[in-house]
Structure 1
């Protein structure tokens, strides 16, 4: 699997780049299977135009590398530092014309280490990688389905614990506990539990606010399974809510469902955004839908494709993304409903089965 992915990357590199250097994160995971986070210890995966693979790796991470599909490790101890490993790589690579790097994730610390090599130019390889990662293979989809199962089961287990006087942080903690119990490797972003007036904050991370009767609660959270993300939002009510809030909920639900029904190969990202936005605008709340309709999901919580205005990207089979319209009224409330979708050969698959009818606790 990883060898095949690297072959696709190499086919894009051969005309323009001698090597690609990846730093810890989703791209390194995608092409090598090595799942690490950036730290003070320098770590690189190097893919050559001949599809040779090298790792510069601290000794403490050696047990995480699988070399069954080939590869060379240039390791170093904490006492040695990475300089000798970089010099060994320099000897292996010789004089290079162009090195491909990830402009959006590489740090100055890592770039300075690359400067020890002999080369003429640095070029951004990010666009090519984003294009490759947009279309998910069968193994990726299997992991994503499992991640979705984790979030749905965890939300179902958490909802009965939401009562008057419980804090948002307590709800978030329960959610994260339930996800861990079911195999989540962590959370891809800070769990959002935003009740009442705080629901108007699209990124309202859980706070010490106590939940009150008659409030909407926006719950936006995610799980990670084998590195792959599920990202789910549901808005629930604690007790009866006003007719105005019920109407807002109905509009968001309608916008979510209409955009999803339009998903198929050949549709553009911006057209889906327009469908949802028009429904909310016609309902009188156009100024209160303040973000894009959705974002890609996979090894990252946010990746290509982005469903938003002025994005003419044509959707293709295998692309995975969220659909999450919302309405946010300052100092009053917010509503968001989010599903995870896959483009199929003749339409879409909604990975989520959790009800979108208003749940009143």
Structure 2
């Protein structure tokens, strides 16, 4: 769907308006990350996308020009092997060498940025990452349709299908494998993408008991041993589910390149045997999610929601474990999501740009309990005039096996 000419044109128009408003000194922008190149062109490729302040864009790619012309509606796609080739193309097309370019700095390595600077010695580069992020944060009806389908499949797998396979003695890794198998059957694309430089993820996290509080290097509240120190994702084959133990699963579903994010808490045993502290912590997370979902409206400031969240937590008994126990604690409540899991905006300090209708947000209140593990919930929501509309299904109860 992303090769739809109307869709691609609307995305570039939106970005150009933001560029003119917030970076009027820039003559255009250079975009380097494969995800953003795909978003603005409809083809996933390695190279440089030039979007001028006004007018038509040029895609420069290392290879695959024939495929790119099939997938993208851009009129000008050029194969290049040096940044100097970009200057030559500019000259050929009568484009004046830009005095200032807004560059996607997170999408370029240090070595490549040094080569770029040498090829454009008289050009000043400014950061254009936030403008790209704001552009991508708004989701068109086509994008929302994909995410709604992904969310429905995501919920079906975690809430309807997976529980029938869960049993005493099953390992974290076996749970992860079974859930991944169910995802593939439902159309999961088999890839998860992160925006943050150097960050990666595979099939999410499965944490049984106190594994949920294991020290984490991942920018999220949920701990996990993972498969191996080199692969700290999914689950550990040596950690098994025993009676009267909680398990938390945090993962994403990818459909046609777009993600939904969802977390749920499971309990092995009788519902009546769930410890009061576990149930109370989970209930607090559900109440927090539902309250802040109602606040996901156009014009609301994410940073103000984070301030309010901190106040609510400070007045509760969950100060120590909320959003991670000990050094696993993170300072956010939710994040944008779309082509990447960790998109703009974030419900955290410093995010003062108001929500727009059509943005998509994952809310993930979680609580780490010492000696017990982590409990919590997460769902993906669409920002609407009436508050957040859940895309990943509704289940406000611990799933009891």
- TM-score of the superposition, structure 1-length normalised? 0.88
Shift of 1:309: 4.2
Match among 100, 108, 115 for residue 106 of structure 1: 108
State the Cα distance separating 1:296 from its structure 2 match.
Answer: 0.7
- How far apart in 1 are the matches of 2:86 and 2:301? 44
State the Cα deviation string for residues 100-141 of structure 1 (Å, max 9, x = none).
Answer: 211222212431342324542011111222222222221111
Query: Who is 2:138 aligned against?
Result: 135
User: By how many angstroms is 1:220 displaced?
Assistant: 0.6
Match of 1:39 in 2: none
Q: In 1, distance between residues paired with 2:103 and 2:308? A: 37
Task: Give the corresponding residue for 2:325.
Answer: none
1:265, distance to aligned residue in structure 2 (A): 2.9
Q: Quote the Cα distance in structure 2 between the aligned partners of 1:287 and 1:309.
A: 19
**Alpha-carbon distance between aligned partners in 1 of 2:263 and 2:101, rounded to the nearest angstrom:** 40
Contact 1:94/1:118 (CA < 8 Å) preserved in 2? no
Match of 1:267 among 279, 300, 314: 300
- Structure 1 residue 306, shift from structure 2 partner: 0.8
1:33 to 2:37 alignment:
no
Q: 1:295 pairs with 335, 338, 350, which one?
A: 335
Residues paired across the two proteins, number:
352
Q: Residue 341 of structure 1 aligns with which residue?
A: 381
| 91-100 or 288-297, which deviates more | 91-100
Q: Is the 8 A contact 1:255 1:280 kept in 2?
A: no
Between Structure 1 and Structure 2, the one with more strand by share is: 1
1:1-361 matches, cutoff 5 A:
1-14=7-20, 15-36=24-45, 43-60=47-64, 62-66=66-70, 69-75=73-79, 81-82=81-82, 85-86=85-86, 88-89=88-89, 91-92=91-92, 93-115=95-117, 116-117=119-120, 119-155=122-158, 156-188=160-192, 189-190=201-202, 191-201=204-214, 202-204=222-224, 205=233, 206-208=235-237, 209-239=239-269, 240-289=273-322, 290-291=329-330, 292-309=332-349, 311-361=351-401
TM-score (norm 2): 0.80
**8 Å contact 1:6–1:51 — kept in the other structure?**
no
Deviation digits for residues 144-187 of structure 1 (CA, Å, limit 9, x no counterpart): 11111221122132222222221111111222222222222224
Classify 1:184/1:88 alpha carbon distance in 2 versus 1 (closer, same or farther; 3 Å): farther
- Separation of aligned partners in 2, 1:277 and 1:214: 31
Contact 1:17 1:100 (8 Å CA) reproduced = yes
CA contact (8 A) 2:31 2:107 kept: no
- Alpha-carbon displacement from aligned partner over 1:260-288 (angstroms, at most 9, x marks no partner): 23333333223433454444443311121
Task: Report if aligned partners of 2:363, 2:380 keep a CA contact under 8 Å in 1.
Answer: yes
Secondary structure at 1:288 match in 2: coil
Match of 2:55, SS state, is: coil
Distance in 1, matches of 2:87 and 2:351, equals 43
* SS across alignment from 1:233: strand
Greater mean alpha carbon deviation, residues 267-276 or residues 213-222: 267-276
Aligned partners of 2:384, 2:294: CA distance in 1, in Å?
Answer: 12
RMSD: 2.4
Distance 1:221 1:68 in 2: 31
Deviations 1:22-51 (A, max 9, x none): 113332122111224xxxxx5112222343
Contact 1:235–1:336 at 8 Å: present in 2 too? Answer: yes
SS at match of 1:104: helix
Secondary structure at 2:112 match in 1: helix
Partner of 2:196: none
| Worse-matched range after superposition: 23-32 or 286-295 | 23-32
Question: Quick one: structure 1 residues 83 and 9, their matched pair in 2 at CA, closer, same or farther if it must change by over 3 Å?
Answer: closer
C-alpha contact 1:192 1:221 (8 A) present in aligned 2: yes
Answer 1 or 2: higher relative contact order, Cα 8 Å, separation at least 6: 2
Specify the SS of the correspondent of 1:236. strand
Contact 2:83 2:116 in 1 (8 A): no
1:95–1:118 contact (8 Å) kept in structure 2: no
Structure 1: gaps spanning 5 or more residues: 37-41
d(CA) in 2 for partners of 1:122 and 1:139?
33
SS of the aligned residue for 2:123 comes to: strand
